[in-house]
Amino acid sequence: MRNKIYSMLGLANKAGKLLKGSDMCERAIKTSKVDLVVLSTDASEGTAKKFKDMCSYRDIEIRFFGDRYSLGKITGKEERVVVAVCDKGFASTIIDLMDQSLINGGETNG
């Protein structure tokens, strides 16, 4: 299941529908151009709280998944703590995969 999620995030990245990094994601969230925020499970408490609060205020889905190095790998960087999906189709598919992973004992959501 994890590989399918990484594959979908990679496809979103190749399609130009994935924002990478705190600053870029934060700006897009504030203008409500984001359908899903994915934070690495090893994000700091402060970063996690900041993005959870921003997403909650704007009713944007947020999930915790992978670590900073795995998220970085799909974006072509060494590490990334946060990425944002800016496409309803990709976001819906990724959320479904992540929720299915939860049912099967995977990682937690936000």
Q: Where are the domains of the chain?
A: 2-103
What fold characterizes domain 2-103?
60s Ribosomal Protein L30; Chain: A; (3.30.1330)
Look at residue 66 in the predicted model and tell me its pLDDT. Answer: 93
Name residues whose C-beta falls within 8 Å of residue 15's C-beta, 6 or more positions apart in sequence: 87, 90
Q: How confident is the model at residue 96 (pLDDT cuts 50, 70, 90)?
A: very high
Rounded to the nearest integer, the mean pLDDT of the chain is: 93
Residue 68 has pLDDT above 90, yes or no: yes
Look at residue 1 in the predicted model and tell me its pLDDT. Answer: 83
Say if residues 105 and 16 touch (Cβ distance below 8 Å).
Answer: no
User: Of 94, 96, 108, 1, which Cα lies nearest the Cα of 48?
Assistant: 108
Percent of the chain with pLDDT over 90: 86
What are the Cα distances from residue 102, in Å, to 41, 51, 63, 77, 110?
14, 21, 11, 27, 12
Residue 109 has pLDDT above 90, yes or no: no
